[in-house]
Amino acid sequence: MTASASPVGARPILRLKPKANARAIRHGSPWVFDNELVMDRRSKAIAPGTIATLEDNDHTPLGTVAVNTASRIVARMLDRDPEAVIDADWFTTRLSKALSLRERAYDAPFYRLVHAEGDGLPGLIIDRFGDTCVIQPNAAWVEAHLDMLTDALVQVTGVTNVLKNSGGRGRTLEGMDDADAVLRGSAPDAAVPVEMNGAIYMADLTGGQKTGLFFDQRDNHAFVAKLAKDVSVLDMFSHVGGFGLAALAGGAAKATCVDGSAPALALAAEGAARMGATDRFEARQGDAFAQLEAMKEEEAKFELVICDPPAFAPAKAALEKGLRAYERIARLAAPLVAEDGYLVLCSCSHAADMNAFTGACLRGIGRAGRRAQLLHSGTAGLDHPLLPQLAESGYLKALVFRL
């Protein structure tokens, strides 16, 4: 879809209900829900992806928003300036600000370039892999302005290839399709090697999970690698090597990667081979819970065990069930950790905050009969900036225990 900037005066207007929390909007909250707005016939008729002006109930303009009346999040704040024009220059400015942060932090162009609300581009994820960017447009307004965004992205970064990944859960909530596309250039015909913390990861940009690689654990990989020298490592839910390859780069004696996906484990093995670490690498395919149970029966022991599962609590409705799953992971993993060894437990569930997640982990460790020291609490790297007014943007948690 293509959209062009419309005159500010011609925009539709969305108005808050009298009892809506306008103060939260003024203080930086980026989302406005359907029950906070006057949803009359005119408002409901606004096409998804339309740019509008948000007003307080007394007609005071609050900012420029993107609208999708098919979503519970009807309005997403794009700009605090109610006169802002969402055009090519606007995209160029936002993308340039995002790029400047990453170029200051990283020596090579492999990072999350845009982290949605955290970078002032709500519903938009862009991961960069050298001369290729993978876009996840998870909000209707991004889809409506995709050509303009892509042009600005190529101009700002100089990349030659831009891919669209439509696998994000947010697209379903926004009422959009799941069709991937090549927006500029071409898709790579093989997995792309990405070096982080001395490890080499193989990123499948067209057939892998999400955009092909998870950049968010980079700093936690580096911390855990410091504990890995000369020890045996178990990396559960390893995807394409995650913590396991980072541990090998840190000098681990052996790393066993466990995942349910055979293609992901094949990419992990290729990464280990490129690192010259094939003789220290092992893969086990299967359900993580079943594998943990089996290794307990085998009386297996590792000096370092990492569990980095998918989101067990992707929304508040799944919180209690998700916390029970995290507790179970901790209970099953703790017996596999050798005395004075390390257990790393991670969560990418935004609905489970750090306190709730820590409590679930400690309950599981305690029920396994182990005593824990908490050594480190980690979050995502700075290419995943947190918007303080939106807890969802700070979803990642990593806890490092010594048992």
The mean pLDDT values, 10 residues at a time, for the chain of 403 residues are: 60 94 92 95 95 95 96 96 97 98 97 97 97 96 97 98 88 84 96 97 88 93 98 97 98 98 96 98 96 95 97 88 96 98 96 95 98 97 94 92 98
Q: Which amino acid is at 376?
A: H
pLDDT of residue 1: 45
Q: Which amino acid is at 63?
A: G
pLDDT of residue 10: 84
Kindly state whether residues 19 and 127 are assigned to the same domain.
no
User: How crowded is residue 84: how many other Cβ atoms within 10 Å of its Cβ?
Assistant: 16
Estimate to the nearest angstrom the gap between the alpha carbon of 32 and the chain centroid.
Answer: 22
Kindly state whether residues 159 and 307 are assigned to the same domain.
no
Kindly state whether residues 64 and 125 are assigned to the same domain.
no
Domain closes at, from 144, 163, 184: 184
pLDDT of residue 6: 57
Distant-in-sequence, close-in-space partners of 277: CB < 8 Å, separation ≥ 6 = 245, 248, 255
Kindly state whether residues 207 and 324 are assigned to the same domain.
yes
Residue 153 CA to residue 126 CA, distance in Å, equals 10
Residue 281 CA to residue 268 CA, distance in Å, equals 9
pLDDT of residue 211: 81
With tokens 């297996």, the residue in question is 300
Give me the count of residues in the chain.
403
Split into its structural domains, the chain has a count of 3
Q: Which of 205, 204, 210, 186 is nearest to 138 (CA)?
A: 210
Kindly state whether residues 116 and 71 are assigned to the same domain.
no
Whether residue 134 lies inside any domain: the answer is yes
Domain closes at, from 79, 103, 118: 79
Domain closes at, from 153, 184, 215: 184
**Domain range spanning residue 69?**
10-79
pLDDT of residue 392: 85
Kindly state whether residues 50 and 108 are assigned to the same domain.
no
Residue 346 CA to residue 205 CA, distance in Å, equals 24
